[in-house]
Structure 1
Amino acid sequence: MDSTDQNGTRALTKREICHLQYRDETLNTGVFCEAIWDSFYCWPATPAGEMALRSCSEIFTHNHVPINVRTMEKAYAYRYCNENGDWLWGEWTNYTECLELLHQDNFSSDQIAVAYILFVGSIVSLVALILTLSIFCYFKSLHCPRLHVHQNLVIALIIHSILLFVISTPGVLQDPALSYGNIDWLCKSILSIKMYAAMASINWMFVEGLLLHSRITVSVFNMDTPFKLYYLLGWVLPAVFIISWAAVTAKVLDTPCWRGYGKSSYIWIITGPMLTALTINTIFLVNIVRILVTKLKMSVSIETAQVRKAIKATALLFPLLGITHLLFCINPRDHAYLEKAYMFTNAFFQSWQGVFVAVLYCFTNSEVQSALRNAYLRVNIRWHQNTSHLARRYFSQTSTNYSANLEASIGERSHHKVSPCANISLLPLHDPPETKQFPTDKNDVK
C-alpha cells in the first residue's frame, strides 16, 4: 500500500527511489540487469555476466547499523547478473560475509563461558605465580641453579597469564568496543607475545629436563651451570622463531588478526621446535627414571629422594605444558560438541597451568615449606620477645610507683626519723627475694 504525506501526495517507495537514483546511470547498450532494491540496499544496474560488489562498510553505514568491527573494508556483499540480464537469486543478495561481521561483533554464550574460564584462571594463576616468585626471591636459603630455572619458568608463565587476562576481559565485560581485536596491529602484537610466552615456557621446561638429566647422568656441567646457554634456549630462541613466524604470516595471510593461522603450514615454525623440545624432554625423563630405579635398588639416600620428588613434579608438568600449548593443532573444527569440548578444555588448562606450577614446584616442596616454617617461627619468637620486653617495662614502672608510694607512707609513719642512708629495698617481680625487712620498731630506726 502506498503511503501519502500531509498534503495528500503519494510518498515514493524505496524501490522507486532506488530506480530514480540510478535512472541516469541506466545502461543504454547491451544486456543488463536493472537497478533493484532488495529490502536492505539499492543495487545499481549491472551488465550481463558481471558481479555487483559492495563493501559491508558501505552497506552498514548506509543503513545506520552500529558495529565496532574495523575490518569491514575486506568483507563484501554481492549479486550476480546472468547472461540474460536477470538477477540471479531474484531479490536475494549474498550478505554472508557481512553477517559474519555482525556475529563477530557480539559474544555467543560459549565465547562468554570460555572468557570467564580464562579470566578466573589467569587471575588465580597470576596470584599463585607472583607469590611463588616472591618466595623464590626472598629466601636465600633456597637459592640454587635449579631454582633459577624455576624462576624463569614462572616469569614466562606470568607473561602468559597477563595476556590471557587481557584477551578474556572484553568477553567478561561483554563489550566488543573494548576488544583489542578492533585494532589490527595491537591484536597481532598480543597474539605474537602470547605465542612467545607459550614457547618460552616450553623451552624452560626443556631446560628443566636438561639440568635434571645432566645432574643425574653424565654431569656434563660439573664446573658451572651454563646459564648463558639456558637463557639462549629459554628466551632468545623463542624470540627468533616467533619473529620469523610473524614475518612470514604477515606476508601470506592477509586476514584480520591473522585469523586462520592455525590452518597454515607456517604454524610449524612454532610447533616444530615445541614438539622437538617435548620429545627430547620425554627421552630425558625416561632415561632419568631408568637410572633412578637402578640407584634405588642399590641404596636409598637423601639425594635420591630429592631427585624422585623433582622427577615427579617434572613428569606431571611435561604433558600439562605440552598439551596446553599444542591443543590448537588438533582443533576438531566441527562446529559441534567436539569443538566446544576443545574450547573449554583448552581454556581451562591454559589459564590454570600457573597454579599447577606453583603447587608442584613451590607450595608442596618440602624445602620451601621448611623455609616458610622457620620464617614463621622467627617472626613468632621476635613478636613474643617484644611483648615480653613491653611487659617488663610496664611492670617495672608499676613497681617503681609502688616503691615511691610505700616509702612516702613509711616516712610519714616514722615522722621523718628514717635516715637517708637506710638500706630499704623492695622485692623485684621476677628476681629471687632478698632477706631484708623494713624496720618495724622505733628503736631500730636511727
Structure 2
Amino acid sequence: MSQPRLLSLLLLLLLCCQGSSAQITDFVFENWKAYSEECHRNMSRLPAPTELVCNRTFDKFSCWPDTLPNSTASVPCPWFLPWYQKVKHRHVFKTCGPDGQWVTGPRGQSLRDATQCELDAEDLEAQEKFAKTYGSFKVMYTVGYSVSLCALLLALALLLGFSKLHCMRNYIHMNLFASFMLKGVSVLVIDALLKTHYSDKIDGYNVHIWLSDEAAAGCRAATVFMQYGIVANYCWLLVEGIYLHNLLVVAVFSERSYFTLYLCIGWGELAKSTLTLIPLLGIHEVIFAFVTDEHAQGTLRYVKLFFDLFLSSFQGMLVAILYCFVNKEVQAELLKRWQRWKLGKDLAEEYKHTYSHAPSARNGAGGTCEKHQLVSGCANGLGRGPAATRPGTRYLERTGHSPAEHLALGDRHLCYEFPETTAESHF
C-alpha cells in the first residue's frame, strides 16, 4: 500500500473512533483550503509569461510557478501537511516537458516527486502497525454492534409485544434500547460509507480526493448522525437514573422506611442489575477521562482504544440481557405464551385424533329409536321394569301425547343429549 493511500485511509478511519482525529482532519482540510487560496492569489498577481513555459498551476498538492521546458521545478513541501514540522526544509519536484506541458501519467494524472515530503521510515512503520491493530479492533466492534443490534431488536419486540409489560419502567427501557440501536446503526453506516467511497486506489499524492468538499460533507453528516445517537443514549441513561432515584429514594423515604434494608430485601434483583450497569456504562468513562488522546501513547493508547470500542459496541447487548432477557416478568410472560401455545397444540392433536375415529363409532351405533327405548325404557339397559315404565307412562298421560308423538318430538333432542353407548358400557 502506498503511503498517500495509507495516510488518507487512516485519517478517515480515525474520524470514526476518536474526536481528536476528527479535529485533525478538519484542521488539515482548513489548512489545505487556505494553501489553495494563497496559491491562486499569488498566481493572479504574477505577470503573464512571454515565452513557452509550463504554466503556473495548483495540482491539489503544491503550488507551481511558471517553469521552462525540459526543466524540473522545486518547491518546499506544502505547509498543510500534519507532519510539516518534520519536512519543512525539504522539497517536492515536478518535471516540465519539452512541449511546455507538465509531465503527466498514463491516465492524465498529475505526476510529482514528493518523496522528501513523506514520513520517515519509523513514523511510517508506526502508522502501519496502528493500521493493522485498528483493523483487528474494527472487526471486534463490528461484531459487537451487530450482536447488540440483534439483541436490542429482540428485546424491543418482546417489550412491545406483551401488553402486560407496558408500564413506565419498560417504556424507559424501550427508549434506551432504541438509543443504543441508533448509535450502533450510525457506526455501521459510517463504516459502510467509508468503505464505499474511499476503498478505491488513489494514484499519487492526490489529497483532493479525500479533502474535497464532498468528502468532508459526507463525513460531517455521518459524524453528526453518530453523535446524535451518542447524545440520545446518554440522555436516556440519565432518565433511567432519575427514574431509579425517584423509585428508591423519594417513594421509600416518604413512607419512612429504611433505605438500606429496603434496597437489599425488596430490590435485590434490581440493585444487582443496577450495580452491574454502573461499571458497565460509566466507570471506564471516568477512568479514561484523565487519559486524553494527546497524552495516550504506545500501549496505553491501544488499551484505551480497545476498552472504548469494546464496551461501546457490546453495551447494547448487555443492557438488553439485564433489562429484558433476565427480567422475571418477561420470562413469566414468555412461559405463559409457550404454555398456551403448547396447550393449544395438544388440544388440536387430541381433537384430530378423537374425530378421526368418528365414522366407526357412528356405524356401530343404534338408531334414534333404539337409543330412546334403551335409555328411557330399560333399567340399566338390561330389561323393562316397572320403575322404568311407570314414570314415562304417567308423563305421557299428563302431557296428552301418545308414545309415538312423544318420540317424534324428543327425537332430535335425545340424539344429542344421550351419549352413544351400549348396554355393556353400564357395567
TM-score range, shorter chain: 0.5 to 0.7
Once the 2 structures are TM-superposed, how far is the Cα of residue 64 of structure 1 from its aligned partner? 6.4
Counterpart of 2:145 (choices 122, 131, 151) is 122
Match of 1:316 in 2: 276
Matched, 1:155 2:158: no
Check the 8 A contact 1:114/1:344 in 2, yes or no: yes
Once the 2 structures are TM-superposed, how far is the Cα of residue 330 of structure 1 from its aligned partner? 3.0
Once the 2 structures are TM-superposed, how far is the Cα of residue 105 of structure 1 from its aligned partner? 11
Percentage of pairs with the same residue:
22
- Partner secondary structure for residue 316 of structure 1: helix
Check the 8 A contact 1:139/1:371 in 2, yes or no: yes
Letter in 2 for 1:330: V
Structure 2 unaligned spans of 5+: 1-50, 55-64, 77-87, 95-102, 202-208, 375-418
Check the 8 A contact 1:116/1:172 in 2, yes or no: no
Note the alpha carbon deviations across 1:239-298, whole angstroms, 9 max, x for none. Answer: xxxxxxxxxxxxxxxxxxxxxxxxxxxxxxxxxxxxxxxxxxxxxxxxxxx95314369x
Match of 2:358 in 1: 396
Match of 2:158 in 1: 135
For residues 318 and 64 of structure 1, the distance between their equivalents in structure 2, rounded to whole angstroms, comes to 60
Check the 8 A contact 2:90/2:116 in 1, yes or no: no
Match of 2:216 in 1: 184
Check the 8 A contact 2:325/2:331 in 1, yes or no: yes
Match of 2:247 in 1: 215
Match of 1:293 in 2: 260
Once the 2 structures are TM-superposed, how far is the Cα of residue 122 of structure 1 from its aligned partner? 1.0
- Partner secondary structure for residue 227 of structure 2: helix
Q: Using a 3 Å threshold, how does the CA distance of structure 1 residues 96 and 140 change in structure 2: closer, same or farther?
A: same
Structure 1 unaligned spans of 5+: 1-22, 27-32, 56-60, 79-91, 223-289, 408-418, 426-430, 438-446
For residues 72 and 353 of structure 2, the distance between their equivalents in structure 1, rounded to whole angstroms, comes to 91
TM-score by length of 2: 0.53
Matched, 1:366 2:354: no
Note the alpha carbon deviations across 1:360-412, whole angstroms, 9 max, x for none. Answer: 10111111111111111111111111111111221213434x549xx9xxxxx
For residues 421 and 317 of structure 1, the distance between their equivalents in structure 2, rounded to whole angstroms, comes to 77
Structure showing greater radius of gyration is: 2
For residues 340 and 331 of structure 1, the distance between their equivalents in structure 2, rounded to whole angstroms, comes to 12
How many pairs are equivalent?
A: 282
Matched, 1:385 2:417: no
Match of 1:165 in 2: 188
Match of 2:423 in 1: 435
- Partner secondary structure for residue 356 of structure 2: helix
Q: Using a 3 Å threshold, how does the CA distance of structure 1 residues 146 and 385 change in structure 2: closer, same or farther?
A: same
For residues 278 and 423 of structure 2, the distance between their equivalents in structure 1, rounded to whole angstroms, comes to 76
For residues 54 and 324 of structure 1, the distance between their equivalents in structure 2, rounded to whole angstroms, comes to 49
CA RMSD across the alignment: 5.1
Note the alpha carbon deviations across 1:87-121, whole angstroms, 9 max, x for none. Answer: xxxxx632349x999x9999932222111111111
Q: Using a 3 Å threshold, how does the CA distance of structure 1 residues 35 and 106 change in structure 2: closer, same or farther?
A: farther
Letter in 2 for 1:155: A
For residues 292 and 50 of structure 1, the distance between their equivalents in structure 2, rounded to whole angstroms, comes to 69
Q: Using a 3 Å threshold, how does the CA distance of structure 1 residues 51 and 122 change in structure 2: closer, same or farther?
A: closer
- Partner secondary structure for residue 43 of structure 1: strand
Match of 1:356 in 2: 318
1:188-203 mapped onto 2 (5 Å cutoff): 188-203=220-235
For residues 330 and 65 of structure 1, the distance between their equivalents in structure 2, rounded to whole angstroms, comes to 47
For residues 43 and 106 of structure 1, the distance between their equivalents in structure 2, rounded to whole angstroms, comes to 35
TM-score by length of 1: 0.51
